[in-house]
């Protein structure tokens, strides 16, 4: 995407610094053929994230972009593609209202003891050399999503296997995705019917109840919203745990500070989100009319990519932005977005991130089990993080 920057996937920040210094949005082209204008400065990014002239609906994209992006599950209005990331108000407002009643602080607070208990149990089961992604971050988030959706305990093993295959962005695992998607779709359809008969305290039941009270969802919309919770929630939160751990391991003084002062876990998670965001690029936006961004007028229809990872290190907004400071108080990062599309699951992601990282830092002598340059990174346009994170640690 950005030639001339070796190690771009593992460390995109030198490239982002150069792009920010140049100021204006930059036209970039992906290997897939998708192209768009990359927004890297904080003020420009924050404004773009909330600009109603920038549509989330890919049907407003140019024809050549639509052809290149065909089949991307989070940017395609066909099939499972009608959800919060592909709609604008008032359609987006209606869809968000249906699920927002579940994601309240009071309701999510009920999940906190279970999340902390699960994180504790998974951390206790780790052995030196284990992969922190596959053995900790992913199963933790899969369990959380199972709780949120109301997946029965007996179905969790299959559910976790299908979900892992569906959200995988690794080229070698692409063949397993269609079968897993079919199996997951069949299972979720059955789960929805079961919740209609016997509602529980879960988000599927909340969506069904909302529909009965007037905010009716079509069958495709309901399945699309569940699919979004699976994919977006799974990838970003597991990425927060894995990338946050990696960042702490690369900054041993910060890791030691968090061990000595566990009460810093809340600002620490916010700083980890800012310093190395698991959401590198926000999902696509499309100009409904000519829009000026950073002094450049972009024509109607142009695809636009906002880069929270770049904006979060803008020196015009953050003092010493490349320094990891777990005590940073002025930390209005954009990792969960801004405006009407602000991440609905931000509070839940924070709960999981705090519980998970609080357990990780307690592992004595925690260190990477392989050199950092041998880590493989996710082949994802949106979510940043290592595919696997082998770690070692000593006895308690």
pTM, whole model, 2 decimals? 0.91
In what side-by-side order are the strands of the sheet with 26-29? 26-29, 35-39, 303-306, 285-287, 54-55
Of the two residues 226 and 113, the one the predictor is more confident about is 113
Rounded to the nearest angstrom, the gap between the alpha carbon of residue 272 and the centroid of all alpha carbons in its chain is 14
* Neighbour-count burial of 9, counting CB atoms closer than 10 A to its CB (0-12 exposed, 13-18 middle, 19+ buried): middle
Q: What is the DSSP string of 243-259?
A: HHHHHHHH-HHHHHHHH
Least confident of 2-6, 111-115, 146-150, 200-204: 2-6
Contact between residue 285 and residue 386 where contact means Cβ atoms under 8 Å apart:
no
Backbone phi, psi, residue 357, to 5°: -70, -30
Of the candidates 233, 232, 163, the one whose C-alpha atom is nearest the C-alpha of residue 191 is 163
pLDDT at 364: 94
Question: For residue 12, what are its two tokens?
Answer: 């995109």
Q: Report the alpha-carbon distance of residue 112 to residue 117 in Å, rounded.
A: 9
Identify the band that residue 125 occupies on the pLDDT scale cut at 50, 70 and 90.
very high
Of the two residues 97 and 123, the one the predictor is more confident about is 123
Question: For residue 333, what are its two tokens?
Answer: 């990062």
| Domains in the chain: boundaries | 12-70+82-306+314-392
pLDDT at 154: 84
pLDDT at 73: 46
Domain 12-70+82-306+314-392 listed as CATH 1.10.630.10 = yes
Identify the band that residue 169 occupies on the pLDDT scale cut at 50, 70 and 90.
low
Q: What percent of the chain has pLDDT over 90?
A: 53
For the segment 14-25, the average pLDDT, to the nearest whole number, is 92
| Residue 278 neighbours by CB under 8 Å, 6+ apart | 236, 237, 239, 240, 242, 243, 335, 383, 384, 385
DSSP 8-class letter at 293 = E
pLDDT at 10: 84
For the segment 275-304, the average pLDDT, to the nearest whole number, is 94
Identify the band that residue 172 occupies on the pLDDT scale cut at 50, 70 and 90.
low
Across 26-30, 168-172, 341-345, the highest mean pLDDT is recorded for 341-345
Of the candidates 35, 32, 5, 33, the one whose C-alpha atom is nearest the C-alpha of residue 17 is 5
pLDDT surpassing 60 at residue 3: no
Per DSSP, what are the bridge partners of residue 131?
A: 390
Q: What percent of the chain has pLDDT over 70?
A: 91
Tell me the pLDDT tens digit for each residue of 383-394. 888 999 999 998
Least confident of 117-131, 209-223, 292-306: 209-223
Across 19-23, 51-55, 72-76, 89-93, the highest mean pLDDT is recorded for 51-55
Rounded to the nearest angstrom, the gap between the alpha carbon of residue 96 and the centroid of all alpha carbons in its chain is 17
User: Could you give the angle at which helices 252-260 and 265-275 cross, rounded to 10 degrees?
Assistant: 160
pLDDT at 6: 47
pLDDT at 230: 77
Quick one: CA dihedral 345, 350, 351, 352, positive or negative? positive
pLDDT at 228: 82
Question: Over 27-68, what HEC string results?
Answer: EEECCCCCEEEEECCHHHHHHHHCCCCEECCHHHCCHHHHHH
pLDDT at 152: 86
Average pLDDT in the chain: 87
Identify the band that residue 76 occupies on the pLDDT scale cut at 50, 70 and 90.
low
pLDDT at 212: 60
Q: Return the residue matching tokens 């140019």.
A: 62
pLDDT at 2: 54
Tell me the pLDDT tens digit for each residue of 314-332. 999 999 999 999 999 999 9
Question: How many other β-carbons are positioned within 10 Å of the β-carbon of residue 35?
Answer: 19
Identify the band that residue 4 occupies on the pLDDT scale cut at 50, 70 and 90.
very low
Which ranges constitute the DSSP H helices of 134-176? 138-149, 156-167
Contact between residue 268 and residue 357 where contact means Cβ atoms under 8 Å apart:
yes
Question: How many other β-carbons are positioned within 10 Å of the β-carbon of residue 250?
Answer: 13
Helices (H) and strands (E) counted in the chain, each on its own, are 15, 9
User: Could you give the angle at which helices 265-275 and 346-360 cross, rounded to 10 degrees?
Assistant: 110
Contact between residue 224 and residue 80 where contact means Cβ atoms under 8 Å apart:
yes
pLDDT at 79: 61
């Amino acid at each position: 995407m950005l030639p001339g920057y070796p190690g771009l996937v593992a460390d995109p920040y030198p490239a982002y610094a150069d792009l920010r210094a140049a100021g204006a949005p930059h036209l970039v082209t992906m290997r897939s053929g998708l192209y768009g204008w990359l927004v890297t400065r904080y003020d420009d990014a924050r404004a773009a994230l909330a600009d109603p002239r920038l549509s989330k609906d890919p049907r407003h994209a140019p024809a050549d972009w639509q052809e290149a992006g065909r089949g991307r599950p989070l940017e395609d209005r066909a099939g499972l593609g009608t959800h919060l990331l592909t709609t604008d108000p008032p359609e987006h407002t209606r869809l968000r209202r249906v699920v927002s009643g579940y994601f309240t602080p009071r309701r999510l607070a009920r999940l906190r003891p279970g999340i902390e208990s699960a994180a504790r149990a998974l951390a206790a089961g780790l052995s030196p050399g284990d992969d922190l992604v596959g053995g900790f971050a992913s199963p933790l988030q899969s369990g959380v999503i199972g709780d949120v959706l109301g997946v029965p305990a007996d179905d969790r093993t299959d559910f976790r296997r299908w979900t892992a295959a569906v959200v995988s962005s690794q080229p070698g695992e692409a063949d397993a995705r269609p079968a897993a998607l079919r199996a997951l779709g069949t299972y979720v359809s059955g789960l929805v019917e079961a919740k209609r008969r016997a509602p529980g305290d879960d988000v599927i039941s909340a969506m069904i109840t909302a529909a009965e009270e007037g905010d009716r969802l079509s069958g495709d919309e309901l399945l699309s919203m569940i699919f979004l919770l699976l994919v977006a929630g799974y990838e970003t939160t597991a990425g927060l745990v894995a990338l946050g751990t990696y960042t702490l391991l690369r900054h041993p003084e910060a890791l030691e500070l968090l061990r000595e002062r566990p009460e810093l876990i809340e600002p620490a998670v916010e700083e980890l989100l800012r310093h190395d965001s698991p959401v590198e690029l926000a999902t696509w936006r499309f100009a409904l009319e000519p829009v000026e961004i950073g002094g450049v007028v972009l024509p109607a229809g142009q695809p636009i990519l906002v880069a929270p990872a770049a904006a979060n290190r803008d020196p015009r907004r953050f003092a010493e932005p490349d320094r990891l400071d777990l005590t940073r108080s002025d930390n209005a990062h954009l990792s969960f977005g801004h405006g009407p599309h602000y991440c609905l699951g931000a509070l839940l992601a924070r709960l999981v991130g705090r519980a998970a990282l609080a357990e990780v830092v307690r592992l004595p002598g925690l260190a990477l089990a392989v050199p950092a340059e041998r880590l493989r990174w996710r082949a994802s346009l949106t979510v940043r993080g290592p595919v696997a994170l082998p770690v070692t640690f000593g006895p308690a």
